[in-house]
A and B are shown apart, each in its own frame.
Chain A
């Protein structure tokens, strides 16, 4: 495979969640994290999963990633069943999960070295391409602890993009960041999504964030975890999180969500 081929965006994948159930047992308590959940995600779609904690949205993401197995049902990625983690579906976690024993370049090379059919020099070029994409090529030799929270998540994004996956799975990646950094990343992720043409499944408990990023917002309800309602967001991109049109959308989702919320649980708007 040549470098040029490697850098061409891969065709984004279509995802099908078919009747997926998952139960956890903690002591005597049984939690129905997912109860017969079905969901279609089209090629190149940006879908946000929203819901209160315990609604199984992160569990679903882990099952799509292949990191957990469902008790029932199955996941299809481009028609083939998902049974294990794979480079076609990369994950970005809430904690950056960057490896502290490697520098920035080493972290990107970690995922690229696992990809066959490339020379090391080509891998390095691919890594530089993605560092440039997130605007941090100057920090290629930096150590992870030297980076700010926002920079760490940018590097984590670059590392997840580097193997050129068809699907990007994001589990509350911006939850731990301050508001200003988060707003910058909203811009970046929309730009990168359009440039790299990925299918993105994005888990968040922040309704406004979901409305800002998603083509579609899927609302989950907890105990048992089910899809409650879906909302299409047809605003032009790039979207500004502070725009009134967006606020109108998030209000609508928010009120639907509040119907299912019990008073002890909190939700960020």
Chain B
């Protein structure tokens, strides 16, 4: 309760500073709108449905692409960790491409697929995949071999060992890879949506871009707030349960 209160006071303070700066009229209200203007924009955009539909478009791209990246990346990472030939080929490729800022995939995706969902999906998958592959590979390579030996004596074999021992044993690494993949995917998707009009659906980035075009600062700030909120929510909904599990079982801090 005390922590909630501290947070509330902090954010109320930020809001108050913002209001004071606005009232002092140091800058043009076009550049620094009042908090109430931003709130009004958010309310109107929520009521006319433009904000909601943009959120849906963006989240759909993000979640579908992210899921595909995970479902492909985890098995590939396990395979590269276990098979030397794959590690020397796919593993090296993953290492190289993970170093490539994922927004760099945008031009290629647009040329290949056009200004549509497939291009966006591709960008998100590229953002997710390599991080997940590398983290899974590291995780699997770090599994204490004694777990596998113990499982073998209990009658565990091949696929059972892989899914019931090696996969959960590498979970701490996989979860951190999942977080990194999410961050890369989220950033590159926003960049793509801001700079390119995707004809098949207007996302949050698009809304942000049009805020600039229209010189509507309350829209720019409003959409930025929504993007921040989605980031926080993703962390709480997607990753906190995993991290709590790791913390409880492994006894790790953080």
Chain A residues in the interface with B (C-beta under 8 A): 65-67, 85-87, 89-91, 93, 95, 97, 99-103, 110-111, 114-115, 143-146, 163
Nearest A residue (CB) for B146: A97
> Smallest CB-CB separation from A65: which chain B residue?
B153
Q: Does B197 contact A (CB under 8 A)?
A: no
A-B contact count (CB 8 A): 66
Q: How many residues of B contact A (CB 8 A)?
A: 21
Name the interface residues of B204-254: CB closer than 8 Å to any CB of A.
Answer: 248-251
8 tightest CB-CB pairs across the interface, nearest first? A145-B251, A111-B154, A101-B168, A97-B150, A114-B155, A85-B152, A85-B153, A97-B146
In the complex, besides A99-B165, A99-B168, A143-B249, 8 extra interface pairs with C-beta distance below 8 angstroms are: A87-B155, A91-B153, A100-B169, A101-B171, A101-B249, A103-B249, A145-B249, A145-B250
Task: Kindly list chain A residues whose C-beta atoms are within 8 Å of the C-beta of B248.
Answer: 143
By the criterion CB–CB under 8 Å, are B152 and A146 in contact? no
Quick one: closest B residue to A89, CB to CB?
A: B153
A146 and B251 in contact (CB under 8 A), knowing A99-B147, A101-B171, A110-B164? yes
Main secondary structure, interface of A, reads loop
B187 at the interface (CB under 8 A from A): no
Q: Does B156 contact A (CB under 8 A)?
A: yes
Q: Smallest CB–CB gap between A230 and chain B, Å?
A: 27
- Nearest neighbor of B245 in chain A, beta-carbon distance: A101
Q: Are B251 and A67 in contact (CB under 8 A)?
A: no
Q: List the interface of chain B (C-beta within 8 A of A).
A: 144, 146-147, 149-156, 160, 164-165, 168-169, 171, 248-251
Residues of B within 8 A of A103 (CB): 249
Complex formed: what's the CA distance from A42 to B155 in Å? 24
15 contacts between A and B (CB under 8 A): A67-B152, A86-B153, A86-B155, A87-B154, A97-B149, A99-B165, A99-B169, A100-B250, A101-B169, A102-B249, A110-B151, A111-B155, A114-B154, A115-B155, A143-B251
List of B residues within 8 angstroms of A100 by Cβ: 169, 249-251
Residues on the A chain within 8 Å of B165, using CB? 99
